[in-house]
């Protein structure tokens, strides 16, 4: 008796798409968040210029935007955000140590960041969902 593969169900296809989507979102960010966690980059100073806030029901989220200048003055980046800053962290015109890890829109404090705590579980979830989908596809038809 030959074992034949069954046609994938809609649920299995949806699982595979979800797993791929989670990996598509998280994998490209893995390298940058590891560099950010280690504060691996060019050291310099961030000068706060503007407090940007978004209000949600019962919650406000703010971050300081400003300019980054490397310690040797060679790198100058305008309109970047300082990850982890909030309303009480800085004042307009105030400078603080920062690290440019190469992210397009943000720099980090010298202690790094904890962004990986969000990215790693998404990557693991994507792998887990794809594993479940693959097992469902490999089950032979009775």
Domain identity same for 46 and 34: no
Average pLDDT, the chain: 91
Claim to verify: residue 25 and residue 13 sit in the same structural domain: yes
pLDDT over threshold 70, residue 22: yes
Residue 142's pLDDT is what? 56
Q: Do both 80 and 125 map to the same domain?
A: no
61 plus 98 within the same structural domain: yes
Q: Are 45 and 69 in contact (CB under 8 A)?
A: yes
Residues 97 and 122 in one domain: no
**Residue 128: pLDDT band by 50, 70, 90 thresholds?**
very high
Nearest partner of 140 among 4, 10, 1, judged by Cα = 4
Domain ranges, residue 100: 41-112
The structure tokens listed for 129 are 């969902």
């Amino acid at each position: 008796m030959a074992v034949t593969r069954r046609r994938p169900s809609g649920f299995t296809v949806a699982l595979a798409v979800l797993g791929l989507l989670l990996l598509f979102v998280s994998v490209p960010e893995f390298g940058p968040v590891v560099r950010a966690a280690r504060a691996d980059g060019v050291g310099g100073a961030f000068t706060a210029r503007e407090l940007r806030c978004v209000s949600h029901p019962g919650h406000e989220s703010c971050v300081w935007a400003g300019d980054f200048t490397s310690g040797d003055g060679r790198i100058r980046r305008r309109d970047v955000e300082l990850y982890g800053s909030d309303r009480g962290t800085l004042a307009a015109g105030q400078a603080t140590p920062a690290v440019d890890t190469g992210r397009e829109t943000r720099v980090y404090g010298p202690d790094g960041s904890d962004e990986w705590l969000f990215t790693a579980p998404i990557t693991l979830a994507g792998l887990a969902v794809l594993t479940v989908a693959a097992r469902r596809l490999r089950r032979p038809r009775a």
